[in-house]
Structure 1
Amino acid sequence: MNFRTIGILCLCMMLVFACSTTEDTSEDDAKTETVIEETEHPTLSPIEQHGNLQVKGHQLLNEHGEVAQLRGMSFFWSQWQGQFYNKTIVDYLADDWQCDIIRAAMGVNHGGYIENPEVELQKVDQLIQAAVDNGLYVIIDYHAHTASEDVESAVDFFSQMAKKYGHLPNVIYEIYNEPLEDSWADVLVPYAQSVIAAIRQHDPDNLVLCGTRTWSQRVDEVAQKPLEDNNVAYVLHFYAGTHKQDLRDIGDRAIAAGTCIFVSEFGVINADGDGDINYASTKEWMQWLDKHQLSWCNWAVSEKEEGASIFLPGTTSNQTPTAGSLTESGLYLRNILRNRNYDQP
């Protein structure tokens, strides 16, 4: 056998070995790539992503020091649409709508908590547990317009809530939904001080939301006498069909003064909860919220026959809703939450 023949044989053997190695390597790479893809793109719940929330200046931060802009839905008054305060609906909002947060709007008066405490507490408990199961944040909202007239009941309620749920990072306390024309310095600040003191006896650090004068619109007044607690944000509510640039100007002044704003309730319709969607105004508001990285909840998880409701009248609460169950508002909000698309469909 001459050297040329030997060389050809060696070359063939090298090619065979190379092909075999390439096939094995390709298979190994494919397996490795699959594993890497799964570990590099984990699906984290909002709680896993953000953890404990903290106010720093005018911003709401997560436990990593990053801005936390939470987006989600507010339930309707518990005494009138309490059938939706269940795990099936929360699962749906978490999985399909991709909510970060929900709001339990516990009605205080008008047949609510004051008259039927056990009934309303059970609804709130169910919603909190469902939120925890899904890794969502949940606002415990004392849904009233005259809470400052009965401070004792509010103190008792939030003391119970903080004692029971204060160990959970999911929980946010909204201590007064929408005050009317109570003075910020003379009425709302003393009220908040009493309620927050009751909360802090059991929960030293979870976020507290404090309503402001005139249906939670006058956030600009907070800077005159801010609360001393270091983890409080102040509530701004708007309805796109009614409120426009003048209310955003109030919000801008508050932010410039260092006030942390949380939009715990807004609507895409008129302030009475009804009317057609104002798409143009809603888009302007959503862009403003994004500009300032403000958290929000939309009103409302309800099947009441009005423009704010996301469900059509007659929608059952014990089955997972479908697209056919949604109102025009429901379809629009679902698209906003899933795709950050603020344009009219």
Structure 2
Amino acid sequence: MKFLFVLGLVFACSVNFSVAKDAALETVSKHGQLSVSGVDLVDSNGEKVQLKGMSLFWDVWMPQYYNKEAIDGVHDLCHSNAVRAAISVTTERDGGYIETPDASLERLYAVIDAAIADDIYVVVDWHDHEADSHLNYSLDFFDKVSKKYTGVPNILYETFNEPTGQSWSDVLKPYHEAVIKTIRANDPDNVIIVGTPTWSQSVDQAAANPITGQKNIMYTLHFYAGTHKQWLRDTANGALSNGIPIFVSEYGTVNADGDGSVDEAESRLWYDWLDEHNISYLNWAVSDKVEGASALQPNTTAANTCKEEFLTASGKFVVAQNKA
């Protein structure tokens, strides 16, 4: 009997009894003000917290989802505790914040207010590839938003969606520092996520020369499972080892061009890695565009956002993960 007791004790110690969490239940009223401790996102009690949810598509191209109906679906049916508002800065033909700031802010505020009402977090994303060339507009945008929502714990700021070939040390770091200063003048506490080189993949470059003298700063990592494999996880592991906190504000289950079928095997490897390291992740995208990355079927209305019969293969796969 003693042998069986000891054997049972050894077995119990070897089993992972961690409880899966439905992200829709991990709300702002439960976790409160977020902050960064080491490489971890933590809640108001200092406990590790993970955001799982959805990113909206470029606001100028999918404005139909920048409203309360759609955000209700993101929370309730896509089982999310976070949504990302991708505010277009400039586009080749359809404008963005630089051309139509009032319209952009109206869409953004609708999403933020809906997220607050739904008790979830919201990432305010400056969705640009050349934000370093638009610094004055960036400062204006983040000054307005951080003033309007000062003291609101729901908000995280993403200062630069996806830099491309810009130097981290010479261009991106000074840009982020300027935007951080503007936000912190109004909002001293909320988490700020900063974009990294190479479409927000080269977190190792940021780790080699991190932003100092600031709190609650995280670094963006983006991946698309069909394209980005173990080599990118290895890069991210190195950044984590150097003390750089990572936030995946955009990922796809398909190829980096947004198309192709769901790479389930590689996506699961990514999910396992993200969960192991308590890294938050938001799926691209709440969109009805005809491409693999879209979570919604073509012509899905805001009222039908995330209803199962309107989800794509990727949408169904992602929602199942958000519930796990």
**TM-score, normalised to structure 2's length?**
0.89
1:49 matched to 2:34: no
Structure 2 vs 1, CA of residues 190 and 247 (structure 1 numbering), >3 Å: closer, same or farther? same
Partner in structure 2 of residue 10 of structure 1: none
Q: Secondary structure at the match of 2:186?
A: coil
Cα shift at 1:223:
2.4
- Whichever residue aligns with residue 312 of structure 1, its letter is Q
Kept after mapping to 2: 8 A contact 1:45/1:135: no
Q: Secondary structure at the match of 1:79?
A: coil
Partner in structure 2 of residue 327 of structure 1: 312
Q: Which moved more, 1:45-54 or 1:116-125?
A: 45-54
Q: Secondary structure at the match of 2:220?
A: strand
Partner in structure 2 of residue 82 of structure 1: 63
Which of 128, 145, 151 is matched with 2:112 structurally?
128
Which of 30, 35, 41 is matched with 1:60 structurally?
41
Partner in structure 1 of residue 251 of structure 2: 266
Cα shift at 1:203:
0.4
Q: Secondary structure at the match of 2:28?
A: helix
- Whichever residue aligns with residue 123 of structure 2, its letter is I
Q: Distance in 1 between matches of 2:25 and 2:199?
A: 35
Cα shift at 1:96:
2.0
Kept after mapping to 2: 8 A contact 1:45/1:134: no
Q: Distance in 1 between matches of 2:304 and 2:281?
A: 26
Which of 277, 281, 296 is matched with 2:262 structurally?
277
Q: Distance in 2 between matches of 1:145 and 1:153?
A: 14
Q: Distance in 1 between matches of 2:254 and 2:25?
A: 32
Which of 169, 187, 193 is matched with 2:171 structurally?
187
Q: Secondary structure at the match of 1:333?
A: helix
Cα shift at 1:336:
1.3
Which entry has the higher C-alpha Rg, 1 or 2?
1
Q: Which moved more, 1:206-215 or 1:316-325?
A: 316-325
Q: Secondary structure at the match of 2:126?
A: strand
Q: Which moved more, 1:274-283 or 1:56-65?
A: 56-65
Structure 2 vs 1, CA of residues 74 and 193 (structure 1 numbering), >3 Å: closer, same or farther? same
Partner in structure 1 of residue 131 of structure 2: 147
Kept after mapping to 2: 8 A contact 1:73/1:99: yes
Cα shift at 1:251:
0.3
Cα shift at 1:166:
2.3
Q: Distance in 2 between matches of 1:45 and 1:183?
A: 37
- Whichever residue aligns with residue 275 of structure 1, its letter is G
CA RMSD of aligned residues (A): 1.2
The Cα offsets for residues 194-215 of structure 1, whole Å up to 9 and x where unpaired, read as 1011101110110000000000
The Cα offsets for residues 160-207 of structure 1, whole Å up to 9 and x where unpaired, read as 010001210000000000001111111011101110111011101100
Cα shift at 1:247:
0.3
Q: Percent identity?
A: 45
Kept after mapping to 2: 8 A contact 1:166/1:206: no
1:221 matched to 2:205: yes
Which of 155, 161, 177 is matched with 1:177 structurally?
161
**TM-score, normalised to structure 1's length?**
0.84
Kept after mapping to 1: 8 A contact 2:304/2:310: no
Cα shift at 1:318:
4.0
Q: Distance in 2 between matches of 1:226 and 1:204?
A: 19
Q: Distance in 2 between matches of 1:104 and 1:267?
A: 16
Cα shift at 1:50:
1.2
Cα shift at 1:321:
5.2
Partner in structure 1 of residue 76 of structure 2: 95
- Whichever residue aligns with residue 38 of structure 2, its letter is G
Which of 250, 268, 273 is matched with 1:288 structurally?
273
Q: Distance in 2 between matches of 1:177 and 1:304?
A: 20
Q: Distance in 2 between matches of 1:67 and 1:176?
A: 25
Q: How many residues align?
A: 297
Structure 2 vs 1, CA of residues 319 and 282 (structure 1 numbering), >3 Å: closer, same or farther? closer
Q: Secondary structure at the match of 2:115?
A: helix
Higher relative contact order (CA 8 A, sep 6+): 2
Q: Distance in 1 between matches of 2:263 and 2:204?
A: 25
Q: Secondary structure at the match of 1:55?
A: strand
The Cα offsets for residues 111-139 of structure 1, whole Å up to 9 and x where unpaired, read as 11111111111110000000000110000
More helix by share: 1
Q: Secondary structure at the match of 2:163?
A: coil
Q: Distance in 1 between matches of 2:290 and 2:43?
A: 37
The Cα offsets for residues 28-57 of structure 1, whole Å up to 9 and x where unpaired, read as xxxxxxxxxxxxxxx965101211111111
Structure 2 vs 1, CA of residues 225 and 320 (structure 1 numbering), >3 Å: closer, same or farther? closer
Cα shift at 1:93:
1.6
Cα shift at 1:95:
1.5
Q: Distance in 2 between matches of 1:320 and 1:57?
A: 36
Q: Distance in 2 between matches of 1:296 and 1:319?
A: 23
Q: Secondary structure at the match of 1:169?
A: coil
Kept after mapping to 1: 8 A contact 2:78/2:306: no
Kept after mapping to 1: 8 A contact 2:159/2:192: yes
Which of 286, 293, 317 is matched with 1:301 structurally?
286
